Amino acid sequence: MKKLDWYILKKFLTVFFFSIFLFAVIAVVIDVSEKTDDFVRSGFSAGEIFTHYYIGFIPHIIALLFPLFVFIAVIFFTSKMAGQTEIIAILASGITYNRWLRPYWIGGALLGVLLWISNFWFIPKANTIRGSFEAAYVDAHSSYNALVRGSTDIYFRIDSSTYAGIYSYDTSSKRGNSFFAYQMAKDKLIYNIRSGEIVWDPASRSWVLSNVLERKVSDDKEVVTYIPKLYRKFAFKPADLEKDKYTKDKLTTPELIKQINLEALRGSEGLNELKIERYRRDATPFTVLLLTLIGGIIAGRKIRGGSGSHLAMGFMIAAVFIITDRFSTIFSTKGNLPPLLAAWIPNIIFVWVVYYLYKKAAK
């Protein structure tokens, strides 16, 4: 790397980390004002609130807006360079346009890899801290969640051949009024169990079934057995029956892949949401590189209006990107759009945007 590369990279990274730090401070101030009652209710000190919540909230909000602030940082410092005719001087000295873009490639790739590694391991760990606090002290006192939380009917697949259901299952008490499970083999019923009540026993880490009717079916006979009380270790636990909106955010990528396979086996609803999250963790770092190049190409040309015009154009492009991403996600979760395609559609479209802007750029 030459002096030119270090010069541009230094400006790039300095502006980016300063802007993301400033935004994190503003986000924390706004969040504190919104959650003051929740913090008081928790009974934590200021230091405990930081360790139990903000140490997870800050990485979450940074990762959420990471690509956007990369884009803004690139436009800001590049537009300033263009306004001071530095880019004209660089190109006039014999440096080719492609050579001038090289530090943007390097900077975008470095930040993309940083985000990819963070999404792989560190951001899910931070979301675990944030999600646990919000579930205990924010969502628990929400009037909306008070209405939807409680008893519900659950149907799911235990393994490749066993299906189950629990009527009126209460997630808080880990108790259901009725339970059934049946096992199939070659499209024939071979085992069925029903109970009047199912309760999780933390001491034995198993389910307690009351008033059980157990049926074993073979080709020539059927055996029915009544059991007043039965302890059974099924391949599911209370945590598997709770609908946690933070689940996909808490899981590291290996854990997320494992969870996707498990939910696919069970035939669970909302599987596409997990798959989109999985594929987006790979797609978003590539988005960082694309937005870096778009910002450099747009802001590298000196125009009337300076940074203001560049920023306005940048925000328009960012808005189009976000809208495209939202639409593709909705079409996947509510329709038949494959999750892999939904996660990568914005990048596929903006690859052509980069190509068009590059061809039209004054070199």
pLDDT band at 140 (very low <50, low <70, confident <90, very high): low
Boundary (domain end) residue, out of 235, 259, 276: 235
Residue 129 falls inside a structural domain: yes
Residue 70 has what pLDDT?
92
Other Cβ atoms less than 10 A from the Cβ of 224: the count is 10
Residue of 263, 247, 287, 354 lying closest to 116 (CA atoms):
287
Which of 10-24, 156-170, 202-216 bottoms out in mean pLDDT, i.e. has the lowest? 156-170
For the stretch 24-47, what's the b/e string if a residue is b when 16 or more beta carbons lie within 10 angstroms of its beta carbon?
beebeeeeeeebeebbeebebeee
Q: Longest C-alpha distance within the chain, in Å? A: 92
Span 221-229, mean pLDDT?
Answer: 90
Residue 13 has what pLDDT?
93
Domain count, the chain: 2
Q: Say how far apart CA 156 and CA 280 lie, in whole Å.
A: 26
More confident call, 335 vs 204? 204
Residue 144 has what pLDDT?
41
Residue 37 falls inside a structural domain: yes
Residue 147 has what pLDDT?
40
Question: pLDDT at residue 146 above 60?
Answer: no
More confident call, 214 vs 300? 214
Do 30 and 58 reside in the same domain of the chain? yes
Residue 328 has what pLDDT?
86
Residue 306 has what pLDDT?
60
pLDDT band at 145 (very low <50, low <70, confident <90, very high): very low
Residue 256 falls inside a structural domain: no
Span 163-177, mean pLDDT?
Answer: 85
Do 40 and 176 reside in the same domain of the chain? no
Residue 262 has what pLDDT?
79
Which of 37-46, 96-105, 149-158 holds the top average pLDDT?
Answer: 96-105
Question: pLDDT at residue 141 above 60?
Answer: no
Residue 139 has what pLDDT?
65
More confident call, 314 vs 33? 33
CATH number at residue 194: 2.30.30
pLDDT band at 157 (very low <50, low <70, confident <90, very high): confident
More confident call, 219 vs 254? 254
pLDDT band at 86 (very low <50, low <70, confident <90, very high): confident
Do 132 and 177 reside in the same domain of the chain? no
Residue 336 falls inside a structural domain: yes
Do 199 and 323 reside in the same domain of the chain? no
Residue of 63, 166, 158 lying closest to 112 (CA atoms):
63
The structure tokens listed for 53 are 């919540």
Do 20 and 128 reside in the same domain of the chain? yes
Span 61-88, mean pLDDT?
Answer: 88
Do 117 and 175 reside in the same domain of the chain? no
Boundary (domain end) residue, out of 187, 212, 235: 235
Other Cβ atoms less than 10 A from the Cβ of 191: the count is 15
Residue 230 falls inside a structural domain: yes
Which of 30-39, 41-50, 133-142, 347-356 bottoms out in mean pLDDT, i.e. has the lowest? 133-142
Do 201 and 350 reside in the same domain of the chain? no
Range of the domain at 50: 3-141+267-360
147: Cα separation from own chain's centroid = 26
Residue 245 has what pLDDT?
65
pLDDT band at 119 (very low <50, low <70, confident <90, very high): very high
Residue 218 has what pLDDT?
83
Compute the C-alpha angle 296/301/306, nearest 5°.
100
Residue 248 has what pLDDT?
81
Do 210 and 338 reside in the same domain of the chain? no
**Secondary structure (H, E, C), 190-231:** EEEEEEEEEEEECCCCEEEEEEEEEEEECCCCEEEEEEEEEE
The structure tokens listed for 206 are 């198993």
Alpha-carbon torsion angle 63, 69, 71, 75, nearest 10: -170
End-to-end, the C-alpha distance of the chain in Å comes to: 22
Question: pLDDT at residue 167 above 90?
Answer: no
Residue 86 falls inside a structural domain: yes
Q: Which residues pair with 191 in a beta bridge?
A: 183, 216
Residue of 241, 238, 275 lying closest to 260 (CA atoms):
275
Question: pLDDT at residue 14 above 90?
Answer: yes
Boundary (domain end) residue, out of 213, 235, 257: 235
Do 29 and 108 reside in the same domain of the chain? yes
Question: pLDDT at residue 330 above 50?
Answer: yes
Residue 148 has what pLDDT?
42
Do 129 and 278 reside in the same domain of the chain? yes
More confident call, 336 vs 101? 101
Give the count of alpha carbons within 13 A of 105, CB side only: 8
Span 102-128, mean pLDDT?
Answer: 93
Do 136 and 164 reside in the same domain of the chain? no
Do 127 and 230 reside in the same domain of the chain? no
The structure tokens listed for 227 are 């059991």
Residue 143 has what pLDDT?
44
Residue 261 falls inside a structural domain: no
Cβ pair 48, 279 in contact under 8 A: no
Residue 148 falls inside a structural domain: no
More confident call, 54 vs 155? 54
Residue 12 has what pLDDT?
93
How high does pLDDT run on average in the chain? 85
